[in-house]
């Protein structure tokens, strides 16, 4: 773990990732479950039915109304969280510093820490072009965040791997999990959206974290030649006219991507590399309507 990794973990040490939907019932945890039971957090009453435990009857209410009721409350549960991280060639930018990849790696580590801080199992799967398998199933054991950090530190982004099959495999292996995709979405974005739509319709929580390098938002105004990082034979000149067209098309594409993911019932967050990772992680896990819960 380097100094930047340590500073990131220190910055998000107290941050938790609350569920945006009621989570499937499971082990006791911090999130509101679909299931209703007899926990400490009261929500409603229900008339006593045959088979209910007599010990759950509200005896004071029985004395007032001459009818038996039991107290209902929302059970609290854990929410497994899986991070699907894009390590394709387009994330290896700029080639000298890999700043885009390292920012994505920090976002993933920060999200893993926020999930684990809430006692949630957390894991990671990486789509990379070097053929290596990078996968850790969701676990809540001590040290899992550092294992994720160590795994991501070994990844070298490159090639043009498909992200959707990794996403689909994770969804099948972890059917109850909240899944966050950390990517620049320059690959099989339509297939990713289709899987996210199906999962969201089934009541699962989906997140798209869109990583963008600051120079992608504002390319150099000097004429230059750009190379496709996933297909080096593709080269395009950047002139004043093509720069303007690029900015228009790139902006429209980002707007469409955000709209499509949100219409699918998922969360979409754009993260630019000149934004500090701890603040970006906070925006993802605590959107404006819940920011006061930080």
SS (H, E, C) 148-199: HHHHHHCCCCCCCCCCHHHHHHHHHHCCCCEEEEEECCCCCHHHHHHHHHHH
As for how many domains the chain has, the answer is 2
> What are phi and psi for residue 128, nearest 5 degrees?
-130, 160
Entry pTM: 0.77
Q: Are strands 122-128 and 81-87 parallel, antiparallel or unpaired?
A: parallel
**Is residue 114 in a domain?**
yes
**Is residue 24 in a domain?**
no
d(CA 80, CA 53): 31
**Residue 68, domain extent:** 31-77
Q: What is the pLDDT along the chain (294 residues), one digit of tens a residue?
A: 788 999 999 999 999 998 886 545 444 444 444 444 444 444 566 787 877 777 777 788 778 877 887 776 555 567 899 999 999 999 999 989 999 999 999 999 999 999 999 889 999 999 987 656 699 999 988 899 999 999 999 999 998 899 999 999 999 999 989 999 999 999 899 999 999 999 999 989 999 999 999 998 987 766 565 554 545 455 566 767 678 888 899 999 999 999 999 999 999 999 999 999 999 999 999 876 544 333
**Is residue 188 in a domain?**
yes
**Is residue 26 in a domain?**
no
Neighbours of 186 (CB within 10 A): 18
83 and 53 fall within a common domain: no
Output the domain CATH number for residue 116. 3.40.50.410
158 and 60 fall within a common domain: no
128 and 53 fall within a common domain: no
143 and 265 fall within a common domain: yes
184 and 42 fall within a common domain: no
56 and 123 fall within a common domain: no
242 and 106 fall within a common domain: yes
68 and 104 fall within a common domain: no
200 and 72 fall within a common domain: no
- Give the distance from CA 53 to its chain's centroid: 40
**pLDDT tens figures, 185-224:** 998 999 999 999 999 999 899 999 999 999 989 877 665 6
Degrees, nearest 5: CA angle 125-25-111: 35
In the block, tokens 């999990």 appear at 177
180 and 260 fall within a common domain: yes
- 3-state DSSP assignment of residue 130: coil
**Is residue 102 in a domain?**
yes
- 3-state DSSP assignment of residue 268: strand
**pLDDT tens figures, 117-151:** 988 999 999 998 765 669 999 998 889 999 999 99
Residue 223 · residue 82 · CB < 8 Å? no
């Amino acid at each position: 773990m380097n100094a930047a990794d340590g500073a990131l973990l220190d910055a998000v040490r107290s941050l938790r990732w609350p569920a945006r939907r009621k989570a499937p019932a499971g082990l006791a945890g911090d999130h509101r479950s679909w299931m209703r039971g007899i926990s400490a957090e009261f929500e409603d009453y229900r008339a006593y039915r045959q088979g209910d435990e007599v010990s759950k009857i509200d005896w004071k209410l029985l004395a007032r109304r001459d009818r038996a009721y039991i107290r209902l409350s929302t059970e609290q549960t854990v929410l497994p969280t899986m991070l699907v991280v894009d390590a394709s060639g387009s994330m290896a930018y700029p080639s000298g510093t890999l700043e885009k990849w390292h920012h994505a790696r920090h976002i993933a580590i920060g999200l893993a820490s926020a999930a684990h801080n809430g006692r949630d199992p957390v894991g990671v799967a990486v789509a990379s072009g070097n053929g290596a398998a990078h996968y850790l199933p969701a676990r809540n054991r001590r040290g899992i965040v550092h294992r994720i950090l160590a795994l991501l530190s070994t990844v070298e982004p490159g090639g043009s791997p498909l992200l959707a099959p990794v996403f689909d495999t994770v969804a099948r292996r972890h059917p109850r999990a909240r899944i966050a995709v950390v990517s620049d979405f320059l690959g099989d974005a339509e297939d990713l959206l289709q899987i996210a739509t199906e999962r969201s319709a089934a009541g699962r929580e989906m997140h798209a974290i869109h990583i963008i390098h600051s120079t992608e938002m504002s390319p150099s105004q000097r004429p230059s030649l750009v190379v496709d990082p996933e297909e080096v034979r593709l080269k395009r000149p950047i002139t004043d006219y093509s720069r303007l067209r690029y900015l228009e098309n790139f902006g429209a594409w980002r707007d469409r991507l955000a709209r499509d993911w949100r219409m699918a019932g998922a969360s979409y967050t754009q993260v630019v590399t000149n934004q500090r990772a701890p603040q970006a992680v906070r925006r993802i896990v605590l959107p404006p309507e819940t920011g006061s819960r930080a």
